[in-house]
A and B are shown apart, each in its own frame.
Chain A
Amino acid sequence: MPAVLRRIPAGMLSAVVALIVWQIIGSVGPLAGDSFATATEAISALWVLVREATFWLAFWETVQMAAIGFAISMVIAIPLGMLIGLSRFSYRSSKFTFDFLKVIPPIVLIPIAILVIGPTLAMGVALVVFANVFSMAIQTAYGVRDADPVLLETMRCFRMGLAKQIRYARLPSAAVQIGIGMRLALAASLVVAVVAGLVGGAGGLGTFLALTQSAGNADDTYAVILFLGAIGVALSRLLVRGHRRLVFWVGR
């Protein structure tokens, strides 16, 4: 490989390839036309959008739904998961129900949510919470149970009680799982916040997308999709780094 190419990060390279493929698919073949945008059309549409206040307002609403929903789910799920994880019985008995609840796609709840809460930001928040809380709780509980029995027994031999075992063994070992769970949950929060707007009229970029779509504005639609993808990647990068710092001992 030439030296110049080697310095480009692999991720960047594949992004460029993807954009080129997108451009080709959008220009020739069955998808070419007004209902689909090419990469260049989407990028130039995005360039216009990012200078419009309505776009940022919509983005801000989505961020609010995702962030508030995410925060609420963590505040509920982490302590709940810790409690569930402390006994094998409560873990085993909750796992079935929680596993069942966590695979229900939040989108199927939108009709009920619209009825009960109405098409508002609050509904978006509620859907985000629903999307995260069960999987996060079970992930936390798993982390708590996952604490090394050898370590726990060593602690018992040194007469360290339950409180110390939780603080110094169960929590740090759960931190690994909690970190992984948070990474997944944050990505899911963004997706659900968009879907809540798109399908449920909760506002934000989702509703913005619904409007561009119904106006037949493919360029804007794909510009927003491109933007959301970029935000998702950036967020996930940030979280991976944060997680590595938090559980610095893993993989050593």
Chain B
Amino acid sequence: MTTAIAINGVSMEYVTPEGTTHVLDNVSYEVSEGSFVAIVGPSGVGKTTLLRLLSGLQKPTAGEILIRGERISGPPAGLAVVLQDYTRSLMPWLTVERNIALPLKNQKLSKADRSERIESSLEEVGLSGQGGKYPWQMSGGMQQRASIARALAVRPSILVMDEPFASVDAQTRFDLEDLVLKVRDDFGITTLMVTHDIDEAVYLSDEIVVLHGRPAKVRDVVTVDIPFPRSQIQTRNAPRFAELRTHVYAMVRGLE
């Protein structure tokens, strides 16, 4: 398998007037093309920081991040993000359609191609015909679907999500989990997702990266050897699922 993202010896320190916080220490990891990777770890360990480095919003204090062999030095092309806080990442003054259209302006698309992209992305997330609504006219789950549609519309090769389902109810969460699995299947997008829900990590991923410590290191990489397609009922009741979640849980807690 080819490598989509290579994280090589990445360290990160935040320098503030109160002092220096050493958050990540020599983190190395390679993400295979097309795989689904979950990043887990205790709160405040540095998961968001790692995603920010990957999205090119910040530069690591040491080490480098390569996307398909190229060192990134800013938000890379072909990367799309979905954040937890959909109310803050969608623009309330634009309809969902126009929210999705905005990032597409970077790509030289004809008007017809652009509206086709918008419509097909909305359809992919189950929001067909709802593009004319404003985000605040939608439920939380629908807004997060809209964020996913915005990400898909740019036809990304890498999708980065930071606790995307932390603010929706349990049933919606299951639906959205299956949605991102479908999206990965349909487009073969390499997906990285931060979650604090270990069950969710096991259910979705090919691999789970466990961050631990202060500063954080990669404590372990767990391969989730449960075959696809997965199903909310069968997969979550499989004995292997229980084993894996217990193992990951213990590591996140620093018990193993």
A interface residue numbers (CB < 8 A to B)? 148, 150-151, 153-160, 164, 168-169, 172, 247-249, 252
B152 on the interface (CB 8 Å rule)? no
CB distance from B194 to the nearest CB of A (A): 14
Contacts of B154 in A (CB 8 A): 158
**Closest beta carbon of chain B to A38's beta carbon, Å:** 50
Task: Assess whether B105 is in contact with A153, with CB atoms less than 8 Å apart.
Answer: no
Q: Are A148 and B88 in contact (CB under 8 A)?
A: yes
Q: How far is the CB of B96 from the nearest CB of chain A, in Å? A: 13
CB neighbours of A249 from chain B (8 A)? 92-93, 134, 136
Shortest distance between the CB of A31 and any CB in chain B (Å): 51
Contact of B75 among A159, A164, A252 (CB under 8 A): A159
Q: Can you give 8 contacting A-B residue pairs, CB < 8 Å?
A: A150-B83, A154-B89, A156-B75, A157-B75, A158-B81, A158-B106, A160-B103, A160-B106
A168 CA / B106 CA spacing, docked (Å) = 14
A155 to chain B, nearest CB (A): 8
Contact B89 A150 (CB under 8 A): yes
Q: How many A-B residue pairs have CB under 8 A?
A: 57
Q: Which of A158, A168, A248 contacts B80 (CB 8 A)?
A: A158
- Whole-angstrom distance from the CB of A160 to the nearest CB of chain B? 6
Question: How far apart sit A154 and B52, CA to CA, in the bound complex (Å)?
Answer: 11
Closest residue of A by beta carbon distance from B154: A158
Please give me the residue from chain A that is nearest to B88 by CB atom.
A150
Pair A172/B88 contact, Cβ less than 8 Å: no
- For B91, list chain A residues within 8 Å (CB): 151, 168-169, 172
Taking a contact as CB atoms under 8 Å apart, the answer to whether B79 and A157 are in contact is: yes
Additional A-B contact list (14), CB under 8 Å, known A154-B89, A157-B81: A150-B88, A150-B89, A151-B88, A153-B57, A154-B83, A157-B75, A158-B80, A158-B102, A158-B103, A159-B103, A164-B105, A172-B91, A247-B93, A252-B136
Pairs A-B, 7 closest by C-beta atoms: A249-B92, A158-B103, A252-B136, A150-B88, A154-B89, A157-B81, A172-B93
Give the shortest distance, in Å, between B153 (CB) and chain A (any CB).
Answer: 10
Contact A160 B92 (CB under 8 A): no
Which residues of B lie under 8 Å from residue A169 when comparing CB positions?
Answer: 91
Contact B106 A159 (CB under 8 A): yes
Q: B94 on the interface (CB 8 Å rule)?
A: yes
Q: Give the interface size class of chain B.
A: 20 to 34
Q: In chain B between 79 and 116, which residues have their CB closer than 8 angstroms to a CB of chain A?
A: 79-81, 83, 85, 88-89, 91-94, 102-103, 105-106
* B54 CB, nearest partner CB in chain A, Å: 10
Considering the chains assembled together, what is the distance between the CA atoms of A82 and B255 in angstroms? 53
Contact A168–B57 (Cβ < 8 Å): no
* Contact partners of B103 in chain A: CB under 8 A: 158-160
Give Cα distance in the complex from A248 to B150, angstroms: 23
B102 engages A168 (CB within 8 Å) = yes
B124 to chain A, nearest CB (A): 18
B118 to chain A, nearest CB (A): 14
Chain B residues closer than 8 Å to A153, beta-carbon distance:
57
Q: Which of B77, B85, B89 has the most CB of A within 10 A?
A: B89
Cβ of A158: which chain B residues have Cβ within 8 Å of it? 75, 80-81, 102-103, 106, 150, 154
Q: Which residues of B contact A155 (CB under 8 A)?
A: 102
Closest to B136 in A: A252
Residue of B nearest to A148 (CB): B88
Asked if B106 contacts A156 (CB within 8 A), the reply is no
Closest chain-A Cβ to B116's Cβ sits at a distance in Å of: 19
**Cβ–Cβ < 8 Å partners of A154 in chain B:** 81, 83, 89
Find the A residue at minimum CB distance from B84.
A150
- Nearest B residue to A158 via CB reads B103
| B146 CB to nearest A CB, Å | 13
**Contact partners of B121 in chain A: CB under 8 A:** none
Question: Which residues from A are CB-within-8-Å of B105?
Answer: 160, 164
**Which residues does chain A contribute within 8 Å of B102, judged by CB atoms?**
155, 158, 160, 164, 168
Is B55 located at the chain interface by the 8 A CB criterion? yes
Chain B residues in 8 Å Cβ range of A247:
93
A252–B154 Cα gap in the complex (Å)?
A: 28
Report how far A252 CA is from B143 CA in the complex, Å.
14
Taking CB atoms, residues of chain A closer than 8 Å to B75 are 156-159
Give the docked Cα–Cα distance between A23 and B134 (Å): 51
| Nearest CB in chain B to that of A251: its residue | B136
A128 to chain B, nearest CB (A): 31
CB distance from B101 to the nearest CB of A (A): 11
Chain A: CB-nearest residue to B103: A158
Assess the A159–B77 pair: CB atoms within 8 A: yes
A169 to B56: give the CA distance in the assembly, Å. 20
B235 shortest CB reach to chain A, Å: 31
Measured in the bound complex, the distance between the Cα atoms of B64 and A177 in whole Å is 41
